[in-house]
């Protein structure tokens, strides 16, 4: 049996950085990864997909360049082998960077294999047994495959496998109208593929307010994406030239099917029962406000604990654990203000409560909206789709949440994120003097239009 000061299971965006901090403190740490360092973000999420999004935007801009007085003769062609290779290069550079970083650390032992608990202080991997007083789980999540008629008879894609395509689908049917599915839908439409989105719920991006969801649908429809919502029945069958997707309202002749119906944690094969670690009904590991599980000496970070499922929230889990365990701090998970983005074009930047959540909270609230068509930068760039929306507490004057669907919305939202984290009231932010011409300069204007509802 090999002994360590700590064992980290999973090489995503929390565990490896925590392992590195512990090594800096002179600890002996084992980092166990069953496949690739970097987790979903590096290998099948943010980095490769946003690289593909960038290629798709380049194609879109090229096709529409005449609007800006730039004439490109001939057809705008897509070389998917080059597109895929570029995304793969970004992934490999990041992954190899982590490999090199850890290789240079005395006290760090990286083990590739499948770890399972033997008891609360012991795990087995590759036939070896390891023990440590502290064990951190950062095992991530994977796509959910729903039990739909005919699904096992077809070769479907997931968000992990679709990034490896090096040919262009004739018609891509996306099952699931949430964040992952919508990003791939617009991406492949811009590459030149016919795209249909099929969503069980009544609207796309169901987490958002109805006006945001409607605006997202308008953006996608304007680019020729076929959207089906409120679909109750879906079945698949092989056809002579692809896959038939039959719903209760349509029949789609697709060449490829992407299943984007959510994700589930990679916790079902860790031997958690042997350690006594509790999970909820969806398999997420139950943690307290410090990310500790019900078993002393075991923590769960990142997607597997169900508190975020984003790269930045996973990294923040590392920050919380490191601050509390290594720096004598008292940071809490409940202090985190959730923010995220949807990377369609234009992107959606989101922070805090939706209008629906704010109304349900019983607070007296104020709301302000402004169309992107009234933003100078948006008009100058010829990208006026979307709008800004801010919700505030009428009594405390604190900002409760915001949504910015529009050009650079994923960056502009950070002004609101910073204000909310600092506890700044909206009147104070309203009197800032932003730079012109930017999208951010409209934040004080939007705040000045807040009205009670």
Angle of helix 179-191 relative to helix 46-63, nearest 10 degrees? Answer: 40
Domain 151-261 sits in which CATH superfamily? FAD/NAD(P)-binding domain (3.50.50.60)
What span, in angstroms and rounded, lies between the C-alpha atoms of 247 and 198?
Answer: 9
Catalytic residue numbers read: 436
CA-to-CA dists, residue 396 to 390, 392, 393, 399, angstroms: 15, 8, 6, 9
Pair of tokens at residue 235: 């079945």
Contact call for residues 1 and 125 (beta carbons, < 8 A):
no
Looking at CATH, the fold of the domain delimited by 339-452 is given as Enolase-like; domain 1 (3.30.390)
Please state which CATH number belongs to domain 2-142+264-335. Answer: 3.50.50.60
2-142+264-335 and 339-452: same fold? Answer: no
Give the SS3 label for residue 306: coil
In tens, the pLDDT along 363-408 reads 999 999 999 999 999 999 999 999 999 999 999 999 999 999 999 9
d(CA 311, CA 19): 17
Question: Tell me, what's the pLDDT at 444?
Answer: 96
| The two structure tokens encoding residue 408 | 């650079």
**For the chain, what are the domain ranges?**
2-142+264-335, 151-261, 339-452
Q: Could you tell me the pTM of the whole model?
A: 0.96
DSSP assignments along 398-451, one per residue: BEEEEEEESTTHHHHHHHHHHHHHHT-BHHHHHT----SSSSTTHHHHHHHT-E
Output the six-digit token pair for 285. 């590991």
Per-residue confidence in pLDDT tens, the chain, 453 aa = 999 999 999 999 999 999 999 999 999 999 999 999 999 999 999 999 999 999 999 999 999 999 999 999 999 999 999 999 999 999 999 999 999 999 999 999 999 999 999 999 999 999 999 999 999 999 999 999 999 999 999 999 999 999 999 999 999 999 999 999 999 999 999 999 999 999 999 999 999 999 999 999 999 999 999 999 999 999 999 999 999 999 998 999 999 999 999 999 999 999 999 999 999 999 999 999 999 999 999 999 999 999 988 999 999 999 999 999 999 999 999 999 999 999 999 999 999 999 999 999 999 999 999 999 999 999 999 999 999 999 999 999 999 999 999 999 999 999 999 999 999 999 999 999 999 999 999 999 999 999 999
Q: Please give the pLDDT value at position 388.
A: 98
Q: How many CA atoms within 13 Å lie on the side-chain side of 201?
A: 12
């Amino acid at each position: 049996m090999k002994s360590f000061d700590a064992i980290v299971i999973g090489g995503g965006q929390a565990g490896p950085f925590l392992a590195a901090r512990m090594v800096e403190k002179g600890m002996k740490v084992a980092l166990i990864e069953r496949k690739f360092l970097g987790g979903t973000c590096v290998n099948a999420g943010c980095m490769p997909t946003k690289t593909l999004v960038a290629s798709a935007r380049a194609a879109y801009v090229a096709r529409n360049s005449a609007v800006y007085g730039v004439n490109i003769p001939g057809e705008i062609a897509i070389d998917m082998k080059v597109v895929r290779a570029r995304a793969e290069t970004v992934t490999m550079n990041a992954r190899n960077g982590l490999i090199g970083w850890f290789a240079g650390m005395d006290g760090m032992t990286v083990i590739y294999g499948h770890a399972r608990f033997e008891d609360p202080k012991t795990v087995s991997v590759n036939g070896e047994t390891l023990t440590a007083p502290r064990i951190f789980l950062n095992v991530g999540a994977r796509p959910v495959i729903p039990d739909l008629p005919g699904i096992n008879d077809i070769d479907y894609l997931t968000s992990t496998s679709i990034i490896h395509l090096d040919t262009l689908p004739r018609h891509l049917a996306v099952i699931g109208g949430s964040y992952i599915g919508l990003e791939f839908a617009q991406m492949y439409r811009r590459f030149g593929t016919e795209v249909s989105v099929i969503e069980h719920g009544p609207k796309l991006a169901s987490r958002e307010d109805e006006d945001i969801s409607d605006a997202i649908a308008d953006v996608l429809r304007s680019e020729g994406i076929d959207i089906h919502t409120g679909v109750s029945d879906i079945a698949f069958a092989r056809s002579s030239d692809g896959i038939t997707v039959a719903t209760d309202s349509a029949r789609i002749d697709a060449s490829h099917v992407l299943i984007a119906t959510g994700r589930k944690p990679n916790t079902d094969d860790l031997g958690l029962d042997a350690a006594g670690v509790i999970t909820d009904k969806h398999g997420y590991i139950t943690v307290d406000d410090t990310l500790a599980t019900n078993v002393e000496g075991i923590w769960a970070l990142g997607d597997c604990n169900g508190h975020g499922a984003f790269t930045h929230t996973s990294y923040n889990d590392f920050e919380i654990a490191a601050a509390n365990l290594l720096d004598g701090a008292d940071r809490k998970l409940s202090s985190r203000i959730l923010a995220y983005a949807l990377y369609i074009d234009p992107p959606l930047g989101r922070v805090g409560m939706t209008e629906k959540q704010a109304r349900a909270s019983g607070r007296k609230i104020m709301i302000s909206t402004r169309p992107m068509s009234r933003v100078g930068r948006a008009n100058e760039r010829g990208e006026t789709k979307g709008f800004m929306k801010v919700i505030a507490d009428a009594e405390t004057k604190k900002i409760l949440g915001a949504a910015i669907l529009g050009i650079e919305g994923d960056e502009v939202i950070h002004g609101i994120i910073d204000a909310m984290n600092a506890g700044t009231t909206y009147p104070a932010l309203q009197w800032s003097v932003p730079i012109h011409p930017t999208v951010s300069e409209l934040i004080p204007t939007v705040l000045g239009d807040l009205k009670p509802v």
